[in-house]
A and B are shown apart, each in its own frame.
Chain A
């Protein structure tokens, strides 16, 4: 069975500072990796995903994540955060041959302060 660990439940950061949200996974088979974002009182939206190819993937709003197979990690980073990035971020995986069933981490609340 696969699992996802997000060690940081909350990450406070000042505006324009860099941030890294950590995600580690465990699986005996190949996985696909996703980051979803949940803004207050809304559903989840896909932020970015790693399927294959380049290990560095980017989103349209400045976030990036790097797949590291040896460390089984998929950490999310942004070099300079904005107040509007305040949200909960979920790391998730699906595994090859397992359909679309997502296994989620417990989430990281990013709080950007002035």
Chain B
């Protein structure tokens, strides 16, 4: 079965360190997204990609970057981790650009910055 997997599931890092969260999907979807989930804010869009070599900033992109070198993967990098980036991160994918298309989510990565 096709799926979307995130790794690691849990990560503790120190302030100032670079951290990369992995997202891999086997749906062969063109669109991939990164969201962060925080209490009182729901999920907010960090970055997204509509295909290989395409990346775009979302609502809360400061301090984060992504790259899309193939269809399957969209790693999220925190250049210099800050305590404000402690959160649960979700990766999602969808099949086409239509606004009515369902998104499929990974299990999430809980990141703690100490």
Residues of A within 8 A of B (CB): 4, 6, 9, 32, 34, 36, 41-46, 49, 51, 90, 92, 94-107
B100 within 8 A of A: yes
> How many residues of B sit at the interface, in one of the four size bands?
20 to 34
Of the residues A43, A49, A51, contact of B106 by C-beta under 8 Å: A43
Task: Tell whether, in the assembled complex, residue B45 and residue A44 are in contact, meaning their CB atoms are under 8 Å apart.
Answer: no
Residues of B within 8 A of A42 (CB): 107-108
Residues of B within 8 A of A (CB): 31, 33, 35, 40-45, 48, 50, 58, 90, 92, 94, 96-103, 105-108
- Closest Cβ of chain B: how far from A110's Cβ, in Å? 15
Specify the chain B residue showing the minimal Cβ separation from A50.
B100
28 A-B pairs with CB atoms under 8 Å apart are A6-B42, A36-B105, A41-B107, A42-B108, A43-B90, A43-B105, A44-B43, A44-B90, A44-B92, A45-B105, A49-B102, A51-B100, A90-B43, A94-B100, A98-B99, A99-B31, A99-B48, A99-B50, A99-B97, A99-B99, A100-B94, A100-B96, A101-B45, A102-B92, A103-B45, A104-B44, A106-B40, A107-B42
